[in-house]
Structure 1
Amino acid sequence: MDMHTLSGGFADPARDAAHAFRACLQAMARPGRGQPIAGALPPAPLSPAAGAVLLTLTDDTTPLFLAPGLDTPALRGWIAFHCAAPICAPEEAVFALGRWPDLPLDRFRIGTPDYPDRSVTLIVEMDSLSPATARLRGPGIETHQDARLPAIAPFVANRARYPLGFDCYFCAEESLSALPRSTFVEAL
């Protein structure tokens, strides 16, 4: 185990995790609105924002799918040491981490009518959270919120399955936004 595996976690775990958890909650409660999130320094190519989300939301009970573009020995070691989240196939994932083109959407769980909560949450790495490409409407949004999404059609289809579907966190550098499955999406 090298020093890069052991470093990069929260410096003050209780305080940093509380701040990161609050950012995750705020992002999901206010779809498309950016939130600062910091405190993690994961191995490249993972952003500090995605690292903070992993440190906050994953543990040994939350199977994680790593998309091919991010599935490196350094990142696997960092996740094993800091989060203990078991790496799994897409069909078993509670969380999935990757760039949008690398995420196999048709293989993830979307819940069942009796248990819609048994679905995946995607943690999507992005280069930037701006400029906006979509207009969002729905719970947590007063009138509308413009946001950058990596695509439009998959989110429109995801909303059509509600209450089934997936939820998303979008991460870029030290910023985070979210899109719950209850949000209506249209292209700008």
Structure 2
Amino acid sequence: MTDTQLQKGFTEPVRDAQQAFRQLLKVMSEPGVIRTLDYADALAELSPAALSTLLSLMDQTTGLWLSPSLDTDLIRTNLNFHAGAPCVDEPAEADFVMAKAGELTSLDGLKIGEPEYPDRSCTLVIQVDRIEPDCGDSELLTLQLSGPGIPGRRKLSLSHPGEALLAYLQQRPDPFPQGLDMILVSGTQVAAIPRTTQVEVI
């Protein structure tokens, strides 16, 4: 490992990990709400919110699959050093999937948990170009969300996450409580669409 390969993670690892984790709990409990997550700088193609998410959620026991544009020696080295996170070669082996929008072309075989242990499912961290509150921008996809943590309905606008992900969100094929939770990151922003959220495209 060289000094060039190793870059800064959290400035204050314990404090920053706790603060980032609280923000992630916030967006998971209130789907569609956007929060700032900038406790780490960007790492190559990983945005600050993406790296902050991974560093706060992962450890030596959580396997990570990286999509092709993110699967570099630099990113693997830093995630392993800062979080102890082992990278896996197949998405089906992963506890976390970190992917750029459009690079996860199939969700078949991902861990959806077990009826008795739904927490053993895979969490998707998807990096998109933009996340906005309902802004009426015709270039963005607007989702209408409903379910636990949402009073009535909430709208979320974002650049397209990819056909496979959008189809999964609309169809919700897995029997509850099994399923996949999704964290959306863009720049320093984060939002979430957990498995309990119903999604319609507006």
TM-score > 0.5 by shorter chain: yes
User: Residue in 2 aligned with 1:51?
Assistant: 51
Distance in 1 of aligned mates of 2:37 and 2:5: 21
1:122 maps to 2:124? yes
2:116 counterpart letter in structure 1: D
1:137 maps to 2:153? no
User: Residue in 1 aligned with 2:113?
Assistant: 111
CA RMSD in angstroms, aligned pairs only: 1.6
Structure 1 residue 153: deviation in Å? 2.3
CA gap 1:21/1:59 in 2 versus in 1, 3 angstroms = same
Which structure 2 residues correspond to residues 1-188 of structure 1 after superposition, within 5 A?
1-88=1-88, 89-103=90-104, 104-130=106-132, 131=140, 133-148=142-157, 150=161, 152-158=166-172, 161-188=175-202
Distance in 1 of aligned mates of 2:174 and 2:200: 13
Distance in 2 of aligned mates of 1:168 and 1:4: 32
Structure 1 outlier segments of 4+, above 6 Å:
none
TM-score (norm 1): 0.93
CA contact (8 A) 1:32 1:148 kept: no
Distance in 2 of aligned mates of 1:165 and 1:70: 24
* Structure 1 unaligned blocks of 5 or more: none
2:177 counterpart letter in structure 1: P
Distance in 2 of aligned mates of 1:65 and 1:25: 22
2:108 aligned counterpart, secondary structure? helix
2:69 aligned counterpart, secondary structure? coil
State the identity %.
40
2:120 counterpart letter in structure 1: R
CA gap 1:5/1:184 in 2 versus in 1, 3 angstroms = same
